[in-house]
A and B are shown apart, each in its own frame.
Chain A
Amino acid sequence: MSSAVGTSNEELVLAQYESIRSKDLDAFMSRCAEDIVLLEANSMPVAGEYRGQAQVRELMAGLIEFFDTSRLHPVRMVGDGEYVVAMLVFHVGPPVGYEVVITEWWHIRDGKVAEIRPFYWDTQELNQKLAGGAAQ
C-alpha cells in the first residue's frame, strides 16, 4: 500500500479489512457503532441504506459469502480527522472472474465505525459481469 499508515483510525480500518479477509464477522461488528449506517448505490443488487448493527451484519454476511474476500487488499489509504478513505481490490470468483476496484469512505466516531460509503469503480460494468456470470 502506497500511503503511510499510522493513526488509530487507519489501523481500525485495516483491522476491519483483515476481519473481512478472514470472514470474522464478530470482530468486524465489534468495531461498529450501534447506529452504524452503510450506503449502497441504487443499481447494485444490494442497493439501499443499512442502519444499525443487525442490518449491517446481515449485509456483510451476504457480501462475505458472495465475494472472494480472501484476496481483498487495500492499495491506497488516507486518514484525516474522523475520516479514512481506502482504495481496495477484491475479486468475484468463478464463473464471473472479475476484479472489483472500490473506494470506501469510513467515518470513525469515538473509536467506532459510524458510516461506510463504498464507491465502486464502475457499477454498470460490475452489474453486467454479475449478470453474465449468473447466466452461465
Chain B
Amino acid sequence: MNATETTTQTLAERNKELVLKQYEAVQNADVESFFSRCDPNMVIHEASSMKVGGIYRGMEELGGLLGQLAGLYDMTTINMERIVAGDEYVVAMGSFMTADHSYQVKITEWWQIKDDKVVEVRPFYWDTQELNAALG
C-alpha cells in the first residue's frame, strides 16, 4: 500500500467514525452533539412523497426537520446493520421503528463528509409507499 492509499483509508475510517457518532447522537436525542459535526450549510434531501418531503438547507431548517422526525419515529430503536465508507461518502443501512412501534422503517443513508463535517445527507427509505401507509 502506498502513502496515498494509507491517507485515503484513514480518511474513510475517520468518516465512518463520524457517522457512527451521528447515529449515537440521534439515538440519544443529543441535538447539540449532532449539530457539532454538521457544516452550517449542510443539506438534507427527503423524498417528495414523504410527510417531511423536501430539501432542508442550513441548521435552522435542519432543526425543524429533526423535530418533525422525532414525532414520527422512535429513534431510540435505531440500529444500523451495515456501514461502508470512502474518502467522501459514507453509506449506512439499518432500521428504526415508527413512534407507535407498529412498523419497522428500513433505510439506507448517504452521508457526504468534507473536512470532518457533514455537508449532505440523502436517506433512501426501503418503501416510501408502504411507510406512508403505515404513518397514516
The reply to whether B88 and A3 form a contact with Cβ atoms under 8 Å apart is yes
The reply to whether A85 and B128 form a contact with Cβ atoms under 8 Å apart is no
Shortest CB distance B39–A (Å): 17
Categorize the interface residue count of chain A.
Answer: 20 to 34
Give the A-binding residues of B (Cβ under 8 A).
8, 12, 47-50, 82-91, 93, 107-108, 110, 122, 124-130, 132
Instruction: Verify if A74 is at the interface (C-beta below 8 Å from B).
Output: no
The reply to whether B125 and A119 form a contact with Cβ atoms under 8 Å apart is yes
The reply to whether B108 and A78 form a contact with Cβ atoms under 8 Å apart is no
For the complex, give the distance between the alpha carbons of A44 and B128 in Å.
10
Residues of B within 8 A of A4 (CB): 8, 86-87
The reply to whether A78 and B91 form a contact with Cβ atoms under 8 Å apart is yes
Residues of A within 8 A of B132 (CB): 124
Give the B-binding residues of A (Cβ under 8 A).
2-4, 41-44, 76, 78-81, 83-85, 87, 102-103, 105, 117, 119-125, 127
For the complex, give the distance between the alpha carbons of A125 and B129 in Å.
8
The reply to whether A87 and B110 form a contact with Cβ atoms under 8 Å apart is yes
Residues of B within 8 A of A102 (CB): 124
For the complex, give the distance between the alpha carbons of A44 and B127 in Å.
8
The reply to whether B86 and A78 form a contact with Cβ atoms under 8 Å apart is yes
